[in-house]
Structure 1
Amino acid sequence: MTSSTAHEIHHNSGEATSRWKDFAKRLECPVDEDGGYVNDRWTNRDLIPIPPDRRTYKIWSFVIYWFVSGACISAYSTGSSLLAYGLTAQQTMACVVTGAIITGMLSVVSGTPGEVHHIGFTVVSRITWGLRGGYFPVILRTFTSIWWFGIQSYWGGMAVALVLGGLSPSFKHMRNTIPESSHITIQNLIGVIIWYILYIPLLLVPPERLQRPFVVSSIAFAATLIGLLAWAVPKAGGGGPLFRTENTASSTPYSMMLGITSILSSWGAGTIGQSDWVRYSQRRYYPMLSQLVAAPLMITMCALVGVVVTSASYQILGTLYWSPIELLGAIQEHYNSSPGVRAAVVFAGIGCTCAQLSINVLLNSVSTGMDMAGLWPKYINIRRGAYILAALGLASNPWQILASASTFLSVISFLGVFTAPMTGLLLADYLVVRRHRVKIPDLYNGTPSSIYWYWRGLHWRALVAFVGTVWIFWPGFIMTMKNPKASNGWVKLFNISFLVGLGAGFVAFLAICAISPPPHYKEGDSFLDDDFVMTTSQ
């Protein structure tokens, strides 16, 4: 090889490296001018404490938040699982009310880091788990969200298909050309595609500007619920037969506790991630009114409407429809697709579609997008993380998930078992051990000089408390996987894992810290100064 040839190869290699560096530089997340931070392994615009100019949420904003979160298809269908435990409709509503009140109180305490220090769950996790250990709860929540996003998206696609079926009965009865083994019809596949087309533009709206879209969604779904009530109750002459069902629960106290746990588990991810949204509050205590009043009220009202409409429609149609989407389709068939009923179905279907769009943005895209941003802040922000989540949610084939069996649902339930102990650990550490004291710059300092570095970036106290809590649910989980109908003490403990896990995680972490207090746990400020500028990044 001549020297000129070697020089040319070296020159071409240098150009390729330079082009790659330029390309990588263009892929980096944008940085605000004079933002006082740089994008690195720990920091980007969506992870720093929210500055005052981005705190746009007022009291009514959080009321709308809880209307979207509490009034949705999942909440509407809550009664189905509770009635399956053998409870009466009245006992079911007692469980809903109790669970909703606890959800509200849990939201208040879980959202405190966001309200006081304006940081989200992704960064809060670093306080308790360490800079590197904080990846664990973030990855776990991201993995779980992928499946739930897919399921919620599929329901959204079914709602779109309902609208199209109302507009065109020929579409509703179109011959399905997709194999039955796929567990999805051509109508629902078209609906899912259209739903995604509607959904993607919402991701362009920053979280601090989502109030108005949420208002539109709330009005649309509220009209759907009112319309279903106005049709079902007068037509059935009351609440229907489910309100006259005798109690069949073999163990009423346990069944009631199981029902309350189901409510808490449904909103568990929403409570642990409250800081993701509360950090946008203009003033402290703005979120509290909605968390203590709007959250229980919305969850209870939506679940009550679901039970009443399901019961009354059963008397009219002769079949139980727990999903409002399936019920609306059955109503159209019952009235032979008359023009008036079709119009009502279209408007109600639009309300369901809006609800699914909002709930996925609210509980999945923003929170999970920020979690993904925490995994690779230099190149992923909330918006990019939300795009990745949307792709993975579709790739999860949610129609196969819903058609497959109880095994998958048991696995998902077990993933939910992790949520409660994580919540208990975070609350014990932030509220009791540290008493709101946080050293903000050290949360973005990935070196041993950070007080949250612990042992090589991992806080062993959190790990020990977490493992010591979660293991008690393993036997019940394994028994449930082997036999879904199994019933013994371990299985019952697994079924109420959220209540037990929350308390056990809280107590276990406090006990370990009492024996071995975390280093520098008294350092930091108990609030975030509005003049604070994020200047530390290493």
Structure 2
Amino acid sequence: MATAQQRPPSRTEPVEVAGVDISPRLYNSDLAPTKIQGRSWGAYNVFTLWGNDVHSLGNYAFAMGLFALGMSVWDILIAFAVASGMLFVLLNLSGRMGSRTGVPFPVMSRIAFGIRGSKLPAAVRGAAAIAWFGIQTYLASQVLRTLVTALWPGAADYDKNSILGLSTLGWIAFLFLWAVQVLIVSYGMQAIRRYMALAAPTVLVTVLALAVWMFVKADGSIALDNGTPFQGGTQWLHIFEAAALWVVVYGTFVLNFCDFTRSAKSNRAISRGNLIGIPVNMLFFAAIAVVLSGAQFRIDGQVITSPTQVVQDIPSTILLALACLALLMLTVAVNLLANFVAPVYMLVNMFPQRLTFRSAGVVSAVIGLVILPWNLYDSPVAVTYFLGGLGALLGPVFGIVMADYWLLRKAQIHVPHLYTEHPEATYHYRRGVNMKAVGVFVPAAVISVIIALVPAFAGIAGFSWFIGAGIAAALYWAVNDRKQTFEHVDGENIAVAAE
């Protein structure tokens, strides 16, 4: 039988690597563990990931919405400090899973759910991401429409009709940004890394400039609240609920952070990048948000919910154009990171013999187009129940995956067994599915979704992710044999097969 050093697995027959038959139904070069020598993500690259993603328009809407709800500037800063501390710990744990094994999330989830059962958590993560990919592209197209009409006022004539819910200008803007993202993804993760390295400093300078401009415009002062601040126990409840919701916003990223850290040079690079990118950068983000909100409220008593409202008031057409371009760079970067990579790996994992990273990117983008995401975004029911429900499912998945990896196995993983269908392999379980993981996921997911969506639980809805994750982790720990021992076998020999 041919070995991995001689040629990669064909589409039809397994190849033996380190005494393990690597199945083409579980493996291709995109799913293979990354080789140590080929890893290129340093601390700066990890930081730029957060430098882009944290400053998304959706996140600013979230933070400014807290000010609108009655939280004071200091309440918001405390909430983000608490949340960033929790996220720093969670993301370091999740990130080290990627750097130690070198595998993407769909393969990582095979550890707990089995080589076939892993399609369940990957589908939950990927489905939500595809929908948000389309929605974020639509939101970016609105910024592009603002830019185009500011530079060419006559273009507004093409923004008045409706074709399947979008104007002619809206379709042009959407398809242009859609094509740009597909082009970037077609060059793989290295292209995404380079784009982030360029976009992050541009974004940080732009939001800082906007905050300084608004601060000066407000005569060097800001409103510390909107006039109706929370007090006493209600104040602290809102602080901790806001912190929990912020962690939930990153629940998707916590889950598949290994998609990026599998290319990290070391655990130290992950920790250093996270240190600047999470606590420091998130507090910088929160400061920008409260300055923009407080300054605008000081100026005219208006409560704003997005930096785009600030940009629209820039008196200079040139400066407005530059600000819009920066926001476009930001939105594309966020979309690539949070909403494109996950479904691409999900699709590659489902069809490794037919799809590559590039072709899966095209398929994912096409799905994100044909669902007409602007109609989805404009429907509160769809956003709340469909996307909100999918988000609530991520907590139990996280609890199971983390409990299995860190508590049960203590990071001892037999990486070659992640790619074999041999019935005696570690992650084959029963016909490729770990029924204990599935059995734990179902009740934990039901509880999480009920808490998130049923009005009777509105008081604790913000904590649904934590409740679902905690229940799943505790149940999974209880139903497994904690005295079992495991061994760690790396995937370096498998990675050679990708050449």
TM-score w.r.t. the length of structure 2 is: 0.89
The residue type equivalent to 1:324 in the other structure is P
- Separation of aligned partners in 1, 2:412 and 2:173: 49
Contact 2:11 2:24 in 1 (8 A): no
Counterpart check, 1:190 vs 2:165:
no
25, 30, 38: which one aligns with 1:41: 25
2:391 is paired with a residue of what secondary structure?
helix
2:377 counterpart (380, 402, 408)? 402
- The structural deviation recorded for 1:279 is 0.7
Displacement of 1:221:
1.5
Q: In the superposition, relative to structure 1, how do residues 533 and 478 fare at CA in structure 2: closer, same or farther (>3 Å)?
A: closer
Corresponding residue number in structure 2 for 1:200:
182
Q: Which residue matches 1:390?
A: 365
1:224 maps to what in 2?
A: 206
For residue 381 of structure 1, report the CA deviation from its aligned partner: 2.1
Contact kept, 8 Å, 1:161 with 1:188, in 2: the verdict is yes
Kindly provide the CA deviation profile for residues 418-445 of structure 1, in whole angstroms up to 9, marking residues without a partner as x: 1111111111111111111111111111
Q: In 2, Cα distance between the equivalents of 1:362 and 1:176?
A: 30
In structure 1, give the amino acid aligned to 2:435.
W
2:438 equivalent to 1:496: no
Does 1:212 pair with 2:194? Answer: yes
User: Which residue in 2 is equivalent to 1:303?
Assistant: 286
Name the amino acid aligned to 1:504: I
Identical aligned residues as a percent: 19
Could you say if the C-alpha distance between residues 210 and 307 of structure 1 is closer, same or farther in structure 2, counting changes exceeding 3 Å? same
Match for 1:174 among 157, 166, 187? 157
- In 1, Cα distance between the equivalents of 2:239 and 2:345? 36
- Report which structure shows greater RCO (CA 8 Å, sep ≥6): 2
Greater Rg, structure 1 or structure 2? 1
2:388 to 406, 410, 413: 413
CA drift of 1:492 comes to 2.6
1:506 correspondence with 2:473: yes
Moved more, 342-351 or 441-450: 441-450
Distance apart, 1:270 and its partner CA: 0.9
Deviates more, 1:432-441 or 1:158-167: 158-167
TM-fit CA distance, 1:294: 1.8
Alpha-carbon distance between aligned partners in 1 of 2:430 and 2:345, rounded to the nearest angstrom: 25
**1:243 pairs with 2:225:** yes
What stretches of structure 1 of length at least 5 have no aligned partner?
1-26, 336-340, 481-487
Q: Post-superposition shift, 1:453?
A: 1.3
Aligned residue in 1 for 2:6: none
Do the aligned partners of 1:223 and 1:351 also contact (CA within 8 Å) in 2? no
Match of 1:523 among 468, 486, 490: 486
Residue from 449, 462, 469 that aligns with 2:437: 462
- Give the direction of change, closer, same or farther, for the CA distance of 1:284–1:478 in structure 2 (3 Å limit): closer
Partner of 1:379: 354
CA contact 1:229–1:305 (8 Å) conserved in 2: yes
1:112 is the counterpart of 2:96 = yes
Q: Aligned AA for 2:410?
A: R
* CA pair 318-394 structure 1, distance change in 2 beyond 3 A: farther
The two structures, once aligned, show a CA RMSD in angstroms of: 2.8
Task: Report the CA distance between 1:128 and its aligned residue.
Answer: 0.1
- Matched residue SS, 1:391: helix
On the 8 A contact 2:88/2:279 being kept in 1, the answer is: yes
Q: CA deviation at 1:46?
A: 1.1
Q: Given the superposition, is the C-alpha separation of residues 58 and 253 from structure 1 closer, same or farther in structure 2, using an over 3 Å criterion?
A: same
Instruction: State the aligned residue count.
Output: 483
For structure 1, which segment, 152-161 or 306-315, has the greater mean C-alpha deviation from structure 2 after superposition?
A: 306-315
Task: Supply the AA of the counterpart residue of 1:524.
Answer: E
The code of the aligned residue for 1:499 comes to F
Q: Counterparts of 2:37 and 2:354 in 1: how far apart (Å)?
A: 24
Shift of 1:401: 2.1
Report the CA distance between 1:123 and its aligned residue.
0.7
Structure 2 counterpart of 1:533: 494
Name the amino acid aligned to 2:420.
N
In 2, the alpha carbon distance for the partners of 1:454 and 1:53 equals: 32
1:279 aligns with 2:262: yes
Q: Which digits, 9 at most, give the CA deviation of each residue in 1:118-137, with x for residues without a partner?
A: 11211110010011111100
Residues 218 and 293 (structure 1), Cα distance of their counterparts in 2 relative to 1, 3 Å cut: closer
Displacement of 1:68 after TM fit?
1.6
